[in-house]
Amino acid sequence: MSTLTTTDPRTGAATSTGIEPTSAAEVGALASAAAEAFRALRAYPRVWRAGLLRALADALEERRVELVETAMAETGLAEARLNTELTRSAFQFRLFADAVDEGGYLEAIIDHAASTPMGPGPDVRRMLVPIGPIAVFGSSNFPFAFSVVGGDTASALAAGNPVVIKAHSSHPLTSQRSFSALADAAAAYGAPAHTLGIVYGQAAGAALVADPAIAAVGFTGSLSTGRILQEIIDQRETPIPFFGELSSLNPLIVTPDAASARADAIADGLFTSFTGSAGQLCTKPGIAFLPAEAGGIVDAIVARAQDAAPQALLNSRILGAFDEIRERLIDDGKARSLVAPHTGADGFTLSPAVLEIDAADVTAAVAEEAFGPLIVIARYREVDEVRIALEAIPGSLTATIHGEASESDLVATLASEVQDLVGRIVYNGYPTGVRVSWGMHHGGPWPATNTQHTSVGISAIRRFLRPLAWQDAPEAVLPEELRDGAADVPRRVDGVLELAASA
Amino acid sequence: MSTLTTTDPRTGAATSTGIEPTSAAEVGALASAAAEAFRALRAYPRVWRAGLLRALADALEERRVELVETAMAETGLAEARLNTELTRSAFQFRLFADAVDEGGYLEAIIDHAASTPMGPGPDVRRMLVPIGPIAVFGSSNFPFAFSVVGGDTASALAAGNPVVIKAHSSHPLTSQRSFSALADAAAAYGAPAHTLGIVYGQAAGAALVADPAIAAVGFTGSLSTGRILQEIIDQRETPIPFFGELSSLNPLIVTPDAASARADAIADGLFTSFTGSAGQLCTKPGIAFLPAEAGGIVDAIVARAQDAAPQALLNSRILGAFDEIRERLIDDGKARSLVAPHTGADGFTLSPAVLEIDAADVTAAVAEEAFGPLIVIARYREVDEVRIALEAIPGSLTATIHGEASESDLVATLASEVQDLVGRIVYNGYPTGVRVSWGMHHGGPWPATNTQHTSVGISAIRRFLRPLAWQDAPEAVLPEELRDGAADVPRRVDGVLELAASA
């Protein structure tokens, strides 16, 4: 087989990586080895696993210069952005370490034996346990945060599962070197062999999802690739959960008073949000509802877009899809082009595109995600036009509302309108720049995601756990966390939530 | 269309119910009305919803005599069993009311704005919110606990969702009268119209699952019907979660010392567990591993099975399937018949069947659930034979281990062997008789269930919720539970779990 190539999107130059696609036999061996690692990992307590996560964070930062340089050449993303993204990934490993130490994620419950209206009830103890080897498919647009060293890997490991990663074809060397940083650190820490694995190539990814040893799939990418992976899962003998972050339009609404009061700030903020990282963010605001009279904001965005230099896109496929979708938004969606993008002299580079439409004309045809630096500005005369237009918007990761204190009823109405449509509502800000914290949610109704879980924030760990109950179990077979006496995790005991003894 | 019939399994007598199958148009109208109710329900606080659940519990008990009598005639189950089951369903509504009052199920998290290694982080607040109208498909074998008034209905309502129930064809009158008890009580309590709905007939059930207004499906039933519903979901424009409790063999293992020390008690307990409710329980132990030398236990079970009078099965379809599967276990699975069942003079009645096999001969062909009073006794010479045989057992709701204190290493080894196979491990007891409590788990690896969630216990509510995050939200649009200051629910604030202020 030929080795994988890597392409610098800033120049279009392709070079061989020397990495060979993983064969089907190798994928099978890796998955089986991960299943062995899964059993071996059971022997280690939470505090050990928290230490492993911290060792991985340290390793990432130790190799920062090499990793960021590699990612720049493979993604065309800016150094500052990639540095922050690496910091975010290390921070994420450490935050999951804290969560593993804290133990609340186990959802430990003890129901002592008791008499009930139905007769004597047995002693029942329950907590969440890891589910098995997790296949992680990273995204093209986050070579660190949603890739080898990203949230799926961190949360799956935090839960106690081994991980087998499918390297993204758009950044194979970044994947390889990130993996090497993690794998070396895990080995040095004394983790079981094959706690981490990686495969290369599309066929290897498909084989991985089909492998009986794989217990779940985490995926951040396109709806079309997501559908292909789901079809592979549907053909498995044993179906497995598929956690997909797929597509998002992220509507943003500016109220009349906000448009008057903060025109310049909103023009600035919106431009930065839809063009940052060349608009290749799943939380990019793809459609913005502005009052008809807010021409100043539109003019300012248009001026900035016209002056903007082309930025590198991640790969030629994204550039091609961008052009296609932009044309569809105009031809089928009836949007008007205010600023047409232009490409640079080299590589896969593009300047921002701005489209406009009357809010009353918004249909599903103009409500398609264009991955790249494009925004559709929908101008409304009556707020009711926004309400109706929102019915054409597919489920999204986020919605954003800019409103003033003077319009609290309107803001509440808009909030109520978007609530069923999204996973996160942002007020007077921008949806890009997802904070990694305990409560952050990155998910939303289909097609934003395909589950009721999140891929960012500590509760992302829930995707890779399942409940297990012990009935009348002798103390010796109970996990430490479920034994009577002082516990180092919060628990619900006979219906009453108790903090950890050390808290 | 012809009206639905109801059949008394004790006599085989079929009579018309006067209930007409719900038309496709009526299903659509009911689902749309449920979507309206969903929006209306948002206006009510948790304490109101807890009161609704308690009103439903009261209504059930008020109509106990009528409901139990109706269920006896439609299911052939014994009065005492049905009385307990109704008590259990009322208890379950009240336990969910307590959980709604307590509010921990919201998983409320507040991350105040803070500086992070990646720069300033916004204020992020997150909790779980209801997902929309839930379609509930009850089971034939639990006319109360897993049907109209069962755990799916209780947990979906507790979460804040309307429910549309598909009445089970095996007990249409029980379904109708149970629904009437709930609907009347909900109306009297002042709940929005169509908070509860019901449809009749197979075509109506299919239309319900396909309806765009339905947000999730809860199902307890056969693997084959589960697959049909999943196929309908796969054809929807918007996929929805399907929570299926499908099939379970529930292996039970008796160690050598336990077999010696407690032969009589184990023979009694095992016989009662696999024949109770005519073996029509999803947690029935379908295969029991006994030491080769434990002939006394086998003899006692055989004697009791031979003496047992036929019990009514739920319907003729179950009787037919039972015969077929029993023949397959003998022909393909190579089991020997120790006691052949005999049918009674009237209706769909059957006495217990006992099969035997050497543990070394256990294959997937003998590891099939036979819904009804049948057990396969697998005799082992070496415990290692059990370990190998377990590899042929499909994912189950439960596994049970009978062991003595003298054998703690063996018990730990067996526990480790079954852990990945099941959702609940029972020690020195029996898996039937599922306690309703905070921590009970009723689920397990495929094909026991198809998700990482449970259908019994308070965490069953998680199936019908999704996370929503508010970023930098003005206090007025935040739910009460996420506002600063004293809270009446437990919350995680800046990473630290806090009990409710009133706790």
The predicted-structure confidence for B366-401, as pLDDT tens digits, reads as follows 999 999 999 999 999 999 999 999 999 999 999 999
Residue A2's pLDDT is 87
Concerning whether B245 is annotated as a catalytic residue, the answer is yes
Rounded average pLDDT over A177-190: 98
- Among partner residues A125, A241, A422, which is closest to B452 by beta-carbon distance? A241
A45 near A479, Cβ under 8 Å? Answer: no
A219 near A247, Cβ under 8 Å? Answer: no
**B259 pLDDT more than 90:** yes
**Enclosing H/E stretch for A67:** helix A64-75
Q: Looking at the complex, does the CB of residue B46 fall below 8 Å from at least one CB of chain A?
A: no
Residue A330's pLDDT is 98
Residue A1's pLDDT is 59
Q: Do A124 and B440 touch (CB under 8 A)?
A: yes
SS3 B454: coil
Rounded average pLDDT over B212-225: 96
The predicted-structure confidence for B403-413, as pLDDT tens digits, reads as follows 999 999 999 99
- The minimum CA-CA distance between A97 and chain B, rounded to whole Å, is 12
**Could you tell me which chain A residue has the CA closest to the CA of B470?**
A425
Which residues share a beta bridge with B251? B287
Rounded average pLDDT over A444-457: 96
CA distance B240 to A174: 36
**Enclosing H/E stretch for B295:** helix B295-307
**B280 pLDDT more than 70:** yes
Report the 10 Å Cβ neighbour count for A456. Answer: 25
A324 CB-near residues (< 8 Å, 6+ apart): none
Res. B1 pLDDT band, cuts 50 70 90: low
Q: Looking at the complex, does the CB of residue B43 fall below 8 Å from at least one CB of chain A?
A: no
Q: Which of A102, A245, A369, A481 is catalytic?
A: A245
Q: Do A474 and B88 touch (CB under 8 A)?
A: no
Residue A260's pLDDT is 97
B171 near B147, Cβ under 8 Å? Answer: yes
Return the amino acid letter for B132.
G
CA of B66: how far to CAs of A242, B61, B82, in Å? 45, 10, 12
Q: Looking at the complex, does the CB of residue A94 fall below 8 Å from at least one CB of chain B?
A: no
Res. A112 pLDDT band, cuts 50 70 90: very high
The predicted-structure confidence for B419-463, as pLDDT tens digits, reads as follows 999 999 999 999 999 999 999 999 999 999 999 999 999 999 999
Q: What is the mean pLDDT of chain B?
A: 97
Strands B396-402 and B251-254, sheet pairing: parallel
Q: Which of B74, B85, B102, B245 is catalytic?
A: B245
Q: Looking at the complex, does the CB of residue B119 fall below 8 Å from at least one CB of chain A?
A: yes
**Enclosing H/E stretch for A127:** strand A124-130
Query: How close are the terminal C-alpha atoms of chain A, in Å?
Result: 56
Chain B CB contacts of A477 under 8 Å are 411-412, 415, 425, 427
Residue A61's pLDDT is 98
Which residues share a beta bridge with B337? B355
Task: Please name the residue ranges forming H helices in B107-240.
Answer: 151-159, 172-189, 202-210, 223-234
SS3 A487: coil
Chain B CB contacts of A470 under 8 Å are 424-425, 427
**B2 pLDDT more than 90:** no
A361 CB-near residues (< 8 Å, 6+ apart): A334
**Interface probe with A: pick from B452, B458, B470, B502, most Cβ of A within 10 Å:** B452
**Could you tell me which chain A residue has the CA closest to the CA of B96?**
A495
Rounded average pLDDT over B132-137: 98
- The minimum CA-CA distance between A110 and chain B, rounded to whole Å, is 7
Chain A CB contacts of B424 under 8 Å are 468-471
A260 CB-near residues (< 8 Å, 6+ apart): A294
B312 near B279, Cβ under 8 Å? Answer: no
Concerning whether B237 is annotated as a catalytic residue, the answer is no
- Return the C-alpha torsion angle A92, A98, A178, A442, nearest 10: -30
Q: What angle do CA B497, B499, B503 make, to 5 degrees?
A: 170
Tell how far CA B193 is from the center of its chain.
Answer: 27
CA distance A471 to A132: 23
**B133 pLDDT more than 70:** yes
Residue B278's pLDDT is 97
- Among partner residues B446, B472, B494, which is closest to A427 by beta-carbon distance? B472
CA distance B77 to B80: 9
Q: What percent of chain A has pLDDT over 90?
A: 98
CA distance B363 to B393: 8
Chain A CB contacts of B451 under 8 Å are 241
Which residues share a beta bridge with A254? A402
Chain B CB contacts of A469 under 8 Å are 423-425, 439-441
- Among partner residues A238, A466, A469, which is closest to B452 by beta-carbon distance? A466
B483 CB-near residues (< 8 Å, 6+ apart): B475
Residue A434's pLDDT is 96
Return the amino acid letter for B243.
F
Q: What is the mean pLDDT of chain A?
A: 97
Report all structural domains of chain B as residue ranges with CATH numbers, in order of start: 26-111+130-246+452-464 (3.40.605.10), 251-427 (3.40.309.10)
Q: Which of A74, A282, A356, A481 is catalytic?
A: A282
Chain A CB contacts of B35 under 8 Å are none
DSSP state of A204: H
Q: How many CB pairs under 8 A join A and B?
A: 236
B2 CB-near residues (< 8 Å, 6+ apart): none
Q: Which of B282, B368, B369, B385 is catalytic?
A: B282
CA distance A304 to A373: 12
Q: Looking at the complex, does the CB of residue B364 fall below 8 Å from at least one CB of chain A?
A: no
**B125 pLDDT more than 90:** yes
CA distance A356 to A329: 10
- Among partner residues B408, B426, B441, which is closest to A472 by beta-carbon distance? B426
- The minimum CA-CA distance between B279 and chain A, rounded to whole Å, is 20
